[in-house]
């Protein structure tokens, strides 16, 4: 099977799984918003932020380093597993010891035990390390996607069951741990082989050297994305944090879908074609363009009907989420367009560029997040997030163009048509939202109508070429023969 066909099938599998995951997650949040109060969401937001930070620390960047390494696989897995065991063990001990201090810093001592309990998820992350790396190196993303579907199914079931049982924010914490454990066990089921605990010092140094950039970039990136929640949790009421957390969840849900798809499939795929500059150049251009065709209308569309959506679906008690949801939808759209470049930098052996990209967002966030939250509240936090994402996108577009040796203007030109179509659709749906009664039914009608308008405009602006691209992709996905004459980057 050619790399193009394999990549498209992988993208289809991962995208399908992510659509299921995002749909189940966001729908369950809507139900949970009517069972739990804003304070419960605020407390869970603190636990989730801390948990994700320690999860990044526990990986140590070793996962991506092991996928990218060109050494013999068993050697990579045994050394990588040994490193992961040492790092994960240290992080678990740290969290158990310092959970009371972390809780006290937020003035929520009742979060000590929930934080300690999340170490179970760290343990399962370590246990599934070899399975995840082996599946990624073999480009078996259907299995990885199924593990994510398991997570997506277990989390809402467990969270809703706990919420109905009166467990309050504990329902969300326990659901997180159960879902991660189930997902890890699924990975182990698909790819399990005994790996000896051996440490090749030379290889370990190489993995750590590569991983340190990935770890530093990932940690800084996540801290930057969550500084707003941390500062809101410290300076504002937990109910306000709950409102912001829900707005952030919806505003970035779909962009996160595209980011997860790209991170899962495109990084290993780009790694396979780094020696062929022309193929890599065309593959990257198509990835960036298709990401824009999907993420831009969703970002602009959700921003246009944010107030209508909150009032009609969530209810008046969540009305404060309207403005941050609109802003975060645009910010999330910007972040989704950053993902292809991050994978390009890593695959071509330039993790330091990912670090620079992250620092460009991290430094302004650190300097400005406190005054923005103190003076403008959650609206200010959302504005800062959108601003740093836009700044980073400009730099990333320039840098990726130089790396691929293409004109700097070519990537912005490639997304002009979906941007124009999305803006026209956004104006139309916003105008209708001002005159229609806010309800779940009318929200659905506006979304479907916006999709139809956007597709019609895109077809007109591309003179039908988008339809030919879609037919080509569908034919490749359905074809049972090996298309040896087609490459990944064919126009």
Instruction: Encode pLDDT of 194-217 as tens digits.
Output: 777 788 888 988 888 888 877 887
Mean pLDDT of 361-365: 88
pLDDT band, residue 489 (cuts 50/70/90): very low
Average pLDDT on 232-238 reads 88
Between residues 314 and 176, the one the model is more confident about? 176
Alpha-carbon distance of 220 to 358, in angstroms, equals 7
If you average pLDDT over each of 142-146, 190-194, 196-200, 360-364, which comes out highest?
Answer: 360-364
Q: Say if residues 42 and 241 touch (Cβ distance below 8 Å).
A: yes
What predicted TM-score, i.e. pTM, was given to this entire model?
0.75
Examine the pLDDT at 314 and tell me if it is beyond 70. yes
Higher confidence at residue 214 or residue 480? 214
Are 381 and 232 a contacting pair, CB within 8 Å?
A: yes
First to last CA, the chain: 19
**pLDDT for 438 beyond 50:** yes
**Mean pLDDT over residues 24-42, rounded?**
86
CA 222 to chain centre: 10
Contact present, 296 and 412 (Cβ < 8 Å): no
**Count of other CB atoms within 10 angstroms of residue 26:** 14
Whole-number mean pLDDT of the chain?
84
d(CA 398, CA 383): 23
In three-state secondary structure terms, 252 is helix
pLDDT of residue 485: 34
Which residue matches tokens 């809780």? 103
Question: pLDDT value at position 5?
Answer: 54
Percent of the chain with pLDDT over 90: 43
Q: How many whole angstroms separate alpha carbon 40 and alpha carbon 172?
A: 9
At which residue do the structure tokens 């404060």 appear? 320
**Range in 17-26, 85-94, 233-242, 317-326 the model is least confident about:** 17-26
Q: Which two tokens stand for residue 79?
A: 């050394």
Average pLDDT for 83-102: 94
DSSP label at residue 140:
-
Cα 240 to Cα 37: distance, rounded to the nearest angstrom: 11
Domain range list for the chain: 3-478
- Residues 314-333 have a mean pLDDT of 91
Q: Which tokens is 451 given? A: 């999709």
């Amino acid at each position: 099977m050619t790399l193009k066909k394999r990549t498209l099938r992988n993208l289809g599998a991962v995208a399908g799984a992510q659509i299921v995951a995002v749909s189940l997650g966001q729908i369950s949040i809507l139900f949970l918003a009517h069972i739990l109060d804003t304070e419960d969401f605020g407390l869970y937001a603190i636990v989730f932020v801390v948990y994700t930070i320690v999860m990044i620390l526990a990986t140590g960047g070793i996962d991506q380093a092991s996928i990218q390494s060109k050494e013999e696989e068993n050697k990579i897995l045994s050394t990588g597993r040994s490193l992961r065991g040492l790092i994960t063990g240290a992080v678990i001990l740290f969290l158990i010891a310092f959970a009371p201090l972390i809780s006290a810093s937020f003035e929520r001592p009742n979060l000590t035990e929930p934080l300690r309990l999340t170490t179970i998820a760290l343990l399962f992350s370590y246990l599934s390390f070899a399975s995840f790396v082996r599946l990624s190196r073999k480009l078996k993303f259907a299995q990885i996607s199924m593990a994510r579907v398991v997570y997506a199914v277990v989390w809402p079931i467990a969270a809703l069951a706990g919420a109905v049982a009166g467990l309050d924010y504990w329902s969300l914490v326990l659901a997180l741990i159960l879902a991660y454990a189930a997902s890890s066990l699924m990975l182990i089921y698909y790819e399990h082989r005994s790996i000896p605990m051996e440490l090749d010092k030379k290889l370990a140094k190489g993995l750590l050297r590569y991983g340190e950039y990935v770890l530093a970039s990932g940690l800084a990136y996540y801290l930057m994305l969550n500084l707003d929640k941390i500062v809101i949790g410290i300076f504002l009421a937990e109910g306000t944090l709950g409102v912001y957390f829900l707005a952030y969840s919806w505003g970035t849900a779909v962009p996160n879908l595209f980011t997860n798809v790209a991170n899962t499939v495109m990084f290993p795929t780009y790694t396979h074609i780094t020696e062929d500059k022309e193929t890599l150049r065309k593959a990257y251009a198509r990835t960036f363009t298709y990401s824009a065709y999907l993420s831009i209308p969703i970002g602009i569309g959700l921003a246009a009907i944010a107030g209508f959506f909150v009032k009609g679906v969530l209810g008046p008690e969540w009305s404060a989420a309207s403005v941050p949801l609109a802003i975060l939808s645009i910010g999330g759209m910007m972040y989704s367009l950053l993902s292809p470049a991050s994978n390009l930098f890593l695959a071509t052996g330039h993790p330091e560029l990912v670090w620079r990209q992250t620092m460009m967002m991290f430094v302004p966030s650190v300097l400005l997040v406190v005054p923005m939250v103190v003076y403008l509240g959650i609206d200010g936090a959302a504005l800062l997030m959108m601003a740093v994402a836009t700044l980073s996108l400009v730099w990333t577009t320039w840098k990726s163009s130089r790396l691929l040796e293409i004109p700097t203007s070519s990537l912005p030109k490639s997304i002009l048509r979906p941007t124009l179509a999305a803006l026209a659709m956004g104006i139309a749906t916003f105008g209708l939202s001002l005159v229609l009664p806010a309800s779940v039914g009318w929200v659905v009608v506006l979304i479907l109508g916006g999709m139809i308008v956007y597709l019609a405009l895109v077809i007109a602006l591309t003179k039908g070429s988008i339809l030919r691209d879609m037919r080509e992709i569908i034919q490749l996905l359905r074809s049972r023969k090996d298309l040896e004459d087609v490459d990944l980057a064919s126009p």
